[in-house]
Each structure stands twice: as C-alpha cells, then as structure tokens.
Amino acid sequence: MTVSFAERLTTVFDGPGRLCVGIDPHAWLLTSWGLPDSADGALEFGLRVVDATAGSAGIVKPQVAFFERFGSLGFAALERVISSAREQGLLVIADAKRGDVGSSVDAYAEAWLGTGSPLESDAVTLNPFQGVGSLTGPLELADRNGKGVFVLAATSNPEGIEQQQAKLASGLTLARSILDDVTSWNEAHAAGPLGSAGVVLGATLDLTGFELGGARTPTPPVLAPGFGHQGASVSDLAAIYGPLAPGVVVSESRALLAAGPDGIRQAVATRAEEVRRASA
C-alpha cells in the first residue's frame, strides 16, 4: 500500500521537525566552499549538504536552476544529490516550479514524481499560471505515487504581489483562489488531517493582503521561503500563518549554507532545534 506524502511529512514533523534545508549551489557559495563553479562542484556541494542535514533535519529542497545551468552534467549531479538524500531518509522537495498543459505538464510530472525516474523526488513545486486545473495530471500522479506538490500562491518576491493580490471575477484574490483549489483537491483525496497538495506562501509577506481566509481541513502543507537570510523569524511563524501554521515547512537556504563546509552540520543542527522549539 502506497504511503501518502502527507503521512510521511507528518512523520517528519513529529520527528526531526519542520526545517527544510535548501540546496542552492550559487556560484559565490561554491567559491566560498572552495569548490569549482561546475557540475562537479555542485555535486560535491549538494552531497555535503545532504550529509550535514541527515540526522538533524528531515527535508531538503534542491533548487533545480542552480544545477540546470550546467546542462546535462548538472542534471546528472542533481540526480545523484536527490538519490543520496532519499537513501538517507530525507524528504526531497524539488524546487522546479514547473507548469504547462496537457501532455507537457504530464511529462514534467513523470520526471519529478514518477516512480523510478532518475529525478524522482518526494514533492515538486508547480506554477499555476495556466490555472490550477492545468495541473491535474501532476496532482493525479502525485496521489497515485504517494508524492506531494506545492503550488505557487503568494511568493516572497515583491514583483508578484500585485498579480497575486488581484481580484478575480469571483471576488477572490488570485492567491485565495489557488489555495481554495488546492483545498478542494485535498478534501477529495486526503485521508488524514494533513493534505498532500500544498501551497507556497512567502514568510516575508503580509498575508492579510492576500485574503486567504481561515482554517482549512485537511490542512495544506505550506512551503514557506523567507526565513533566515530573507529576514522572517521562525518565532513569528504562528503570527505569520495563523490557521495555516500547522502545515508550515520552514525553508532556509543561504543563512545555513553560508556556514561553509566546516560549519554547515552544526548550523543545520542548531537551526533545526530552534525550529522544533518554535513550532512545538
């Protein structure tokens, strides 16, 4: 019997906690780690972050773009990083932000959520610009394979605010409409208090302007960028997310990665404990 992403995420929440460590091999980070700005450097960087995370936190989020910039060698490196993370029991959220229609979006789903795919991850970020309905293929594949998705709704970049707060003919903001569609999917498919379909809501935003409404049942997982380097404080998690707080995944990248190869393990362990205390 396939174990749902929601069940596996709940196990992580109850164990190592909500910290999600980003794997973002920026050129400057590779240099500061003493690694070449190449696919080999990205591979070594990614494997070290995975090793430093295992045993302290339960989730990693490779940013696909920083591997993709090296072409086929970068994807080969990413495959090895994802495989290593999953072998060590970490949940992998591929931050790919894919979106399209028909057979194209279904192919993206097979790449990131397909059983046995070289890029197989536990969840993937999706872009709903063409409507949440265009993501039905990935949602259905995720449901069959015990995977998760995180649909962009209110992103942490300031350029997105005007569009995401825009009102639709229904009177709802675009962000609220996306959250409602994800909630409807979870209502029809989730078997427990947490859904397997989630949303991306930036922690640095004033979410009141997006008019997201109250509590949701099942609770959608919330991938929350903006903690750490971008300025959001984990002590404010409940205040930022309100009734959505029980599903929040605290995503941090640069603040941890800047600790370097000698300090990353301790940085992750310390931050994971802080997040556990703040979300207890």
What share of the chain in percent tops pLDDT 70? 100
- Identify which of 27, 5, 8 has the alpha carbon closest to the alpha carbon of residue 16: 8
* Confidence tier at 193 by pLDDT (50, 70, 90): very high
Whether 229 shows a pLDDT value over 90: the answer reads no
Mean pLDDT computed over every residue of the chain: 96
> How many structural domains does the chain have?
1
- Identify which of 6, 1, 2 has the alpha carbon closest to the alpha carbon of residue 186: 6
Whether 227 shows a pLDDT value over 80: the answer reads yes
| Structure confidence at residue 215 (pLDDT) | 94
- Identify which of 193, 190, 166, 194 has the alpha carbon closest to the alpha carbon of residue 178: 166
| Structure confidence at residue 230 (pLDDT) | 73
What does the buried/exposed string (b/e) look like for 207-232 if buried means 16 or more CB atoms within 10 Å of the residue's CB? beebebeeebebbbbbbbbbbbebeb
Whether 57 shows a pLDDT value over 90: the answer reads yes
Q: Is residue 73 a contact partner of residue 57, using CB atoms and an 8 Å limit?
A: no
In a domain, 77, yes or no: yes
CATH of residue 42's domain is 3.20.20.70
Whether 231 shows a pLDDT value over 80: the answer reads no
Boundaries of domain holding 119: 5-274
| Structure confidence at residue 232 (pLDDT) | 82
| Structure confidence at residue 228 (pLDDT) | 74
DSSP for 199-225 reads EEE-TTS-GGGGT--S--SSBPPEEE-
In a domain, 230, yes or no: yes
Mean pLDDT over 248-266 rounds to 96
Count other C-beta atoms under 10 Å from residue 135's C-beta.
27
In a domain, 279, yes or no: no
In a domain, 280, yes or no: no
Q: Global pTM?
A: 0.97
Which of 129-133, 228-232, 271-275 has the least mean pLDDT?
A: 228-232
61, 97, 147, 167: the catalytic one is: 97
| Structure confidence at residue 279 (pLDDT) | 87
In a domain, 214, yes or no: yes
Q: Judge whether 97 counts as a catalytic residue.
A: yes
| Structure confidence at residue 196 (pLDDT) | 98
Whether 62 shows a pLDDT value over 90: the answer reads yes
- Residue length of the chain: 280
In a domain, 241, yes or no: yes
Q: How far apart are the first and last CA of the chain?
A: 31
In a domain, 153, yes or no: yes
In a domain, 201, yes or no: yes
